[in-house]
Amino acid sequence: MEIHSIDLGIIILYILATIFIGFYISKRASKNLDSYFLGDKSMPWYVLGISNASGMFDITGTMWLVYLCFVYGMKSAWIPWVWPTFNQIFLMVYLSIWLRRSNVLTGAEWITFRFGDGKGGKLAHISVVLFALVSVIGFLAYAFEGIGKFTTTFLPWDLSANTYALIFMGITTIYVVSGGMFSVVFTEVLQFTIMTIASIAVGIIAMSKVSPEMLAKVIPEGWKNIFFGWELNLDWSRIMNSVNDKIFTDEYSLFTIFFMMVLFKGILVSVAGPAPNYDMQRILATRNPREAGLMSAFVNVALIFPRYFLITGLTVLALVFFSPQLNAMGADIDFEMVLPYAIKNFMPVGLMGILLAGLISAFMSTFAATVNAAPAYIVNDIYKKYINPGASNKKYVKMSYLASIAVVAIGIGFGFIVESINDITLWIVSSLWGGYAAANVLKWHWWRFNGFGYFWGMISGLAASLAIPKILPSYTALEGFPIILIISLIGCFLATLLTKPDDMDVLKAFYQRVRPWGFWKPVHDLLLVDNPEFKRNKNFRRDCFNVFIGLIWQISLVAIPMYLVIKEMYWFAGVLAIALITTYILKKNWYDKLEKEV
């Protein structure tokens, strides 16, 4: 695709600006590990919230969401729950607060805080470091695939997808390595601003060019309805028969069964807490537990509205103007062409440059956040803990530089062998998280669960997540999740019950500081002997209610920009009213009751 020199200039200017920011603040980031990985825990919650939202606004995911919106219409709002996107509600309501109370540097350090430093605790520590590195490499391979396919379509030079991916991953690595957390956060705020401007512009263009009547001619009945029955009931045969084949391949026809599986898996993964990646890192970087909860709440608002304004705008333009070309592809229909078509044909000079810079920045943001999270585990949880505990801060920061480069190199290696974005997306969200859920639910809520149980639960789950797709290739990633979960649960319970409980002093220290609800009575009773003033967490019912309201609130936030772009004003007014009501309930029952702790 040919690109105007003005648009190309905007893209180059943006890339240079991100590199400059990384080097400009590198001195501030290199004082020590706390500064390099958590920004000295000094940044405001709303800045970290924008940074976190920017890290999730990835280009690969945007291409996938455009495809979902095209095929499934408004019902596509529910499908990202497979990640699950609603884990941000659990984090907002209580889990971010619990996690931040620990006051640790990484998820692996948190494991030592929970299970102690005995043999079981050390094994648990090793298992979460291993999981963190596997998941980070998976995400880097995912990013590698997405940026390569995207840039070959838009940029004017005749380079391969892998070459483009190498170039942009290299540029991003430069500013991440030099500036650490400060660099990542400040560049992500810039990236988010660009992306928001571009997203709103695309939505406005779609609204100006596509009328409800034009849209109605190219969509099946039920496409605009966000609600669903037992079956999906979207028949594309009169419009684009090959889309029916995609629905059959995705196995979403029995939508209620799919939704129940997604909800079951999503709740378990959400209750487990954040995985050891950039999401957890942003929570640990907040100034106090209250701001951790506020940051996770802000992510929902900052991420959802601009992203779905962009996704729906691109989808509507493609439906009305690109359907003949897609139809001509027949069985070989390629929905990844929707995004480049809409940009090529409807973005004016200048705005195209901003949008392309925004989409490239979305990739760079996700990639940067992932790269910044990974070395913390290598340096803080392996090198500092086991190899060189007495090194200087300067030495640790230098090791962080090397660790970042090594992780990127391995991620790129796996990116070369991944066949498709969809394959690795499904493996990450279902198989890998199936191995994570069991042990990480139990660690919060059951005092008897020990380090040995955590280790064998994580290792058996991780092994199952790698083996099940090979052993049962006919199973979808979502269908394989319960099998992986059961294998992991068996590992958790057998190892826990066949070994001694963790040291009671460790359990009391954890329970007193974090104050989770769950099965902690023996620890609670002993703690009262030492500290009669201690009060247990009695917020279980309130937290569950707020999570339920939060789920409704989040899905209404998704639907608002979607219905606005397609100009269905009755639906828009309805979901806006739901959003306002649920916001008021959360204000009274969550925000007003957030602890004022420091």
- pLDDT per residue over 36-46, tens digit each? 455 557 788 99
The average pLDDT across 115-129 equals 88
**In the chain, how many H helices and how many E strands?**
27, 0
- pLDDT per residue over 328-348, tens digit each? 777 677 766 777 777 777 788
- Pick the range with the lowest mean pLDDT from 70-84, 157-171, 325-339, 535-549: 325-339
**Residue 5 confidence (pLDDT) above 90:** no
- pLDDT per residue over 389-436, tens digit each? 888 877 877 787 788 788 777 777 766 665 555 555 555 555 566 678
pLDDT at res. 63: 77
- pLDDT per residue over 222-264, tens digit each? 999 999 888 888 988 888 888 888 787 777 777 888 888 888 8
pLDDT at res. 584: 98
Residue 481's alpha-carbon distances to 273, 284, 358, 458, in angstroms, are 17, 29, 34, 14
Q: Are 102 and 289 in contact (CB under 8 A)?
A: no
Instruction: Write out the DSSP string of 48-68.
Output: HHHHHHHHH--HHHHHHHHHH
- pLDDT per residue over 54-74, tens digit each? 767 766 677 788 889 999 999
The average pLDDT across 135-156 equals 72
pLDDT at res. 14: 79
Q: With pLDDT > 90 as the criterion, what percentage of the chain qualifies?
A: 35
- pLDDT per residue over 271-323, tens digit each? 998 876 667 878 988 999 999 999 999 999 888 988 999 999 989 998 998 88
As given in the structure block, the two tokens for residue 585 are 């309930």
Q: Which residues touch 114 (CB under 8 Å, ≥6 apart)?
A: 124, 443, 506, 510
pLDDT at res. 184: 67
- Alpha carbon distance 234, 550 (integer Å): 28
Higher pLDDT, 207 or 5: 207
The average pLDDT across 477-493 equals 89
pLDDT at res. 563: 97
Q: How many residues are given for the chain? A: 598
pLDDT at res. 312: 95
Q: Which superfamily is assigned to 5-418+545-574 in CATH?
A: Sodium/glucose cotransporter (1.20.1730.10)
**Residue 89 confidence (pLDDT) above 70:** yes
**Residue 465 confidence (pLDDT) above 90:** no
Query: Three-state DSSP class for 85?
Result: coil
Q: With pLDDT > 70 as the criterion, what percentage of the chain qualifies?
A: 85
Tell me which amino acid residue 75 is.
Answer: K
> What is the domain partition of the chain in residue ranges?
5-418+545-574
- Alpha carbon distance 182, 63 (integer Å): 29
- Alpha carbon distance 356, 150 (integer Å): 10
**Among candidate residues 185, 189, 165, 161, the one with its CA nearest the CA of residue 175:** 185
pLDDT at res. 494: 97
- pLDDT per residue over 101-117, tens digit each? 998 877 778 888 999 99
Q: Are 559 and 575 in contact (CB under 8 A)?
A: yes
pLDDT at res. 598: 41
Average pLDDT of the chain is 83
**Residue 373 confidence (pLDDT) above 70:** no
- Alpha carbon distance 141, 421 (integer Å): 9
pLDDT at res. 544: 97
pLDDT at res. 472: 84
- pLDDT per residue over 161-190, tens digit each? 778 878 877 777 766 665 555 666 777 787
How far does Cα 70 stand from its chain's mean position?
22
